[in-house]
Each structure stands twice: as structure tokens, then as C-alpha cells.
């Protein structure tokens, strides 16, 4: 089953959190939502951070959100 990684986990990863990295490494398949991507970009301090975030997001599957994603999240949590 694919997992949708939250902004908090992505922020922890970007800060070098070992527990966050171990958690993500334990997942078979994961992606981030477009909302998570936008939250990360909104929190960027400068153009260098925006470029780094773009690079990271480019390495992963970014999925759009919609009613079906919300419904799936409710039924699997």
C-alpha cells in the first residue's frame, strides 16, 4: 500500500532527522501530496531553499489531492 507523507515528516527529513529517515525508509512505497509540496515551498526562507525543495520534490511522486484521497485516508487510518 502506498503511503502519503505529511509535511511534518518532510520537514524533519530536510533537517536531517534520523528517526524520520528511518520511518520513511521502512515504507515500501510513498509519495507526497501537492499540498505538502506547496507547504514546503511556502516555508522556504530564500531562493536557495526553493531550489532545494524543488530538487527533493522532483525525486518523488507528487500526487494531486481530491475527494478520493480524503476518502481513502479516512478508511485506512
Q: Which residue has the higher pLDDT, 34 or 74?
A: 34
CATH number at residue 44: 3.40.50.1010
62 is in which domain, residue-wise?
A: 2-76
Residue 30 backbone phi and psi in degrees, to 5: -150, 160
pLDDT, residue 4, reads 85
pLDDT in tens, 15-71: 889 999 999 899 988 888 888 888 999 999 999 999 988 888 888 888 887 777 667
Q: How many CA atoms lie within 13 A of 23 on its CB side?
A: 14
Eight-class DSSP state of 31: E
At 46, list the grid cell.
530564500
Number of domains within the chain: 1
pLDDT score of 75: 64
pLDDT over 60 at 77, yes or no: no
Contact 63, 32 (CB under 8 A): yes
Strand order in the sheet with 2-5: 2-5, 29-33, 62-63
pLDDT at 66 (0 to 100): 74
Amino acid at each position: 500500500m502506498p503511503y502519503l507523507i505529511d509535511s511534518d515528516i518532510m520537514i524533519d527529513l530536510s533537517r536531517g532527522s534520523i528517526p524520520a529517515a528511518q520511518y520513511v525508509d521502512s515504507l515500501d512505497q510513498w509519495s507526497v501530496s501537492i499540498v505538502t509540496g506547496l507547504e514546503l515551498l511556502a516555508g522556504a526562507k530564500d531562493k536557495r531553499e526553493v531550489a532545494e525543495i524543488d530538487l527533493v520534490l522532483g525525486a518523488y511522486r507528487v500526487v494531486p489531492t481530491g475527494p478520493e484521497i480524503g476518502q481513502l485516508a479516512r478508511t485506512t487510518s
